[in-house]
Structure 1
């Protein structure tokens, strides 16, 4: 029997977890979110197509650069079920995400610059700081670290 015939076309959730390095709980979550899909056996066990390995790798790689699952899911929605993400697919996804990535970079730079400026005096108090927030005027704009979050 040829070696390719011995490779299973489907994986159990345990096999997918072991091969991908992603815990089974995360795989179930991905499935509930519609990022991956499985079929159920007559015994109600999950079986994943082998292409799911690449989908999971794509999800992990995307998360490692800060993409939220909702954005990842939107991109995976363009990929037909049972089809593995390819290099070309990754390139198209990265082009789609360039605006989001640039916005994240700008936000991180803004936070770095403003956070460093704010803690320069050592008081760490946004509510009482006479230099950055005199009279607690930022409270009018709502809760949270307003100077760090807003452009």
Structure 2
């Protein structure tokens, strides 16, 4: 088993050592021992950190990620929660695409005022759900 000290894990994951210690306190990762005062992790910790990063990017809290990863190194994937999150991301993608289209149209539109442009107003209506955030 290849071992990585906390500095190497920090370098390879792009996370600060303090973040790794925080993740450890939350039960997201666990060291396999110490070399002197430095924590040592199994190389597989990088995969676990990648799962944490994926969960964070998808909008899950660290607590929710911890529940899904489980403390035993396994996973307790809640499939309905994943489907709900994927649906939420689909809605967000649609909203972001409408914003992108609106910005592009506003930059190129020749109307005297963007609010007089029917296409821009339609795109604006698509983006309105963002106001509910």
The normalised TM-score by structure 1 is 0.53
1:2-41 equivalences under 5 Å are 9-41=2-34
**Matched residue, 2:121:** none
Shift of 1:63: 0.8
Shift of 1:93: 4.1
Alignment check: 8 A CA contact 2:68 2:78 kept: no
**Matched residue, 2:129:** 113
- Give unmatched runs, 5+ long, in structure 2: 96-126
The match for 2:79 among 95, 110, 115 is 95
- Counterpart secondary structure, 1:35: coil
- Give unmatched runs, 5+ long, in structure 1: 1-7, 84-88, 116-147
Distance 1:16 1:42 in 2: 14
**Matched residue, 1:50:** 43
**Matched residue, 2:108:** none
How big is the alpha-carbon RMSD for the aligned residues of Structure 1 and Structure 2? 3.2
Distance 2:78 2:70 in 1: 15
CA offset digits 1:44-65 (Å, max 9, x no partner): 3211011101000111111111
Shift of 1:73: 0.6
CA offset digits 1:57-82 (Å, max 9, x no partner): 1111111111111111111007x43x
